[in-house]
């Protein structure tokens, strides 16, 4: 430490030393610590936000120089947050993860009127409809800022959605007055998270702005594909074993039927298959007198394949449906190839 910095440390006022110690204690008390932007938040609303955070997060507001000193004293990576300290900022600590903190702060934002001289955060549109204002000079004020307004049915009405200001443009005094009169609050007021430090990792807002539904859908898709891979690769897991056993049982039964293996589990199917073949053969014989009485006047089956279809093939199809939809076509192809191979063998 240089003599100059040591001299500054030795001569720091007591109240500043105490404030830095309090900030250090805050930093060490939470799993996640972030810097939030407080610009443009009125004092009363800031107090309301701090009250709403009670129990889940703590907001500390102090001088920027003291925040920097506290972050540098704790070290352990917290000094990375000093890059985000500028303007009107605060320190926020929570035991929630950074993603939960970001969602909480975004959900707590509320709409607010915009003042003259401020920059529009987004396009400002005056919606179509009755303004509820009696006929008077206000219709001219609306028209002066670009709204398509006129007097109809005893009141001032906006006849179509009218964009009166583009995002990034400065709000004039006339614009602010008209928006205030209409109760339009085009800006959001809340704590804007600049960065969060947690478990040795620095997160910025773009890292935390996840679509929870889309993320959940991606995880579900990945899980389904992994399950499908495990089934087709015959890799047993607690989730795939029931489907694998069902598939194996169906394939074994199908093999036994095509190989005419006599077994009590497949005997009903073998008899059904033989009966179908006999009936198909009998239907081909023109001399009905040559046939036993029970086989006379039989209609020929529609297709040979329909007579020979067994319950086992249905069981195979049910087993394959357990796999992910994305790979169903591949499984069906595999099943067809296996069936053709068995046919060639027997």
Percentage, residues of the chain above pLDDT 90: 36
Pairing of strands 124-126, 129-133: unpaired
Higher-pLDDT residue of 127 and 322 is: 127
Rounded Cα–Cα distance for residues 116 and 226 (Å): 56
The values of phi and psi at residue 112, to 5°, are: -150, 155
Strand, coil or helix: 238? coil
Directed axis angle between helix 328-345 and helix 241-258, to 10°? 30
Determine the pLDDT at residue 317.
47
Domains and CATH numbers, the chain: 3-109+190-209 (3.30.70.1730), 124-185 (3.90.105.20), 214-345 (no CATH)
Strand partners, 92: 34, 59
Is pLDDT at 307 greater than 90 in this prediction? no
Task: Dump pLDDT digits (tens) for 257-268.
Answer: 888 887 777 888
Contact 142, 175 (CB under 8 A): no
Higher-pLDDT residue of 333 and 227 is: 227
Rounded Cα–Cα distance for residues 314 and 329 (Å): 16
pTM above threshold 0.85: no
Is pLDDT at 4 greater than 50 in this prediction? no
Determine the pLDDT at residue 330.
45
Task: Using the structure block, give the residue that is written with the tokens 């404030």.
Answer: 19
Rounded Cα–Cα distance for residues 292 and 285 (Å): 12
Is pLDDT at 115 greater than 60 in this prediction? yes
Rounded Cα–Cα distance for residues 110 and 108 (Å): 6
Locate the DSSP E strands across 80-154.
89-94, 110-112, 124-126, 129-133, 149-152
Q: What is the mean pLDDT of the chain?
A: 80
Higher-pLDDT residue of 200 and 4 is: 200
Is pLDDT at 36 greater than 60 in this prediction? yes
Contact 164, 126 (CB under 8 A): yes
Determine the pLDDT at residue 220.
92
Rounded Cα–Cα distance for residues 306 and 16 (Å): 90
Q: Up-side HSE of residue 236: CA atoms within 13 Å toward CB?
A: 6
Q: Which of 102, 108, 107 is nearest to 51 (CA)?
A: 108
Q: What is the mean pLDDT of residues 231-255?
A: 85
Higher-pLDDT residue of 204 and 232 is: 204
């Amino acid at each position: 430490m240089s003599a100059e910095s040591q001299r500054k440390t030795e001569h720091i006022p007591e109240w500043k030393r105490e404030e830095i110690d309090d900030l250090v204690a805050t930093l060490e008390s939470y799993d996640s610590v972030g810097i939030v932007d407080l610009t443009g938040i009125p004092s009363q609303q800031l107090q309301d936000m701090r009250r709403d955070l009670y129990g889940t997060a703590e907001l500390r507001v102090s001088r920027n120089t003291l925040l920097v000193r506290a972050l540098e004293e704790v070290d352990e990576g917290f000094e990375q947050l000093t890059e985000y300290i500028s303007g009107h900022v605060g320190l926020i600590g929570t035991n929630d993860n950074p993603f939960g903190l970001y969602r909480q702060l975004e959900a707590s934002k509320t709409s607010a009127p915009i003042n003259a001289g401020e920059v529009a955060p987004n396009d400002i549109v005056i919606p179509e409809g009755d303004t509820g204002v009696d006929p008077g000079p206000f219709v001219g004020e609306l028209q002066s800022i670009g709204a398509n307004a006129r007097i109809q049915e005893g009141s001032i009405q906006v006849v179509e959605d009218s964009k009166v200001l583009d995002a990034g443009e400065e709000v004039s005094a006339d614009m602010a007055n008209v928006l205030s009169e209409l109760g339009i609050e085009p800006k959001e007021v809340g704590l804007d998270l600049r960065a969060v430090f947690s478990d040795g990792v620095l997160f910025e807002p773009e890292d935390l702005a996840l679509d929870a539904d889309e993320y959940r859908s991606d995880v579900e898709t990945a899980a389904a594909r992994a399950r499908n891979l495990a089934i087709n690769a015959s890799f047993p897991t607690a989730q795939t074993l029931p489907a694998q056993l069902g598939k194996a049982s169906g394939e074994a039964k199908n093999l036994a039927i095509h190989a005419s293996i006599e077994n009590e589990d497949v005997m009903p199917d073998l008899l059904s298959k033989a009966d179908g073949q006999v009936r198909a053969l009998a239907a081909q014989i023109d001399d009905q007198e040559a046939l036993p009485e029970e086989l006379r006047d039989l209609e020929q089956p529609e297709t040979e394949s329909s007579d020979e279809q067994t319950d086992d093939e249905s069981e195979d199809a049910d087993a394959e449906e357990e796999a992910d939809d994305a790979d169903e076509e591949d499984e069906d192809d595999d099943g067809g190839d296996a069936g053709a191979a068995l046919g060639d063998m027997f």
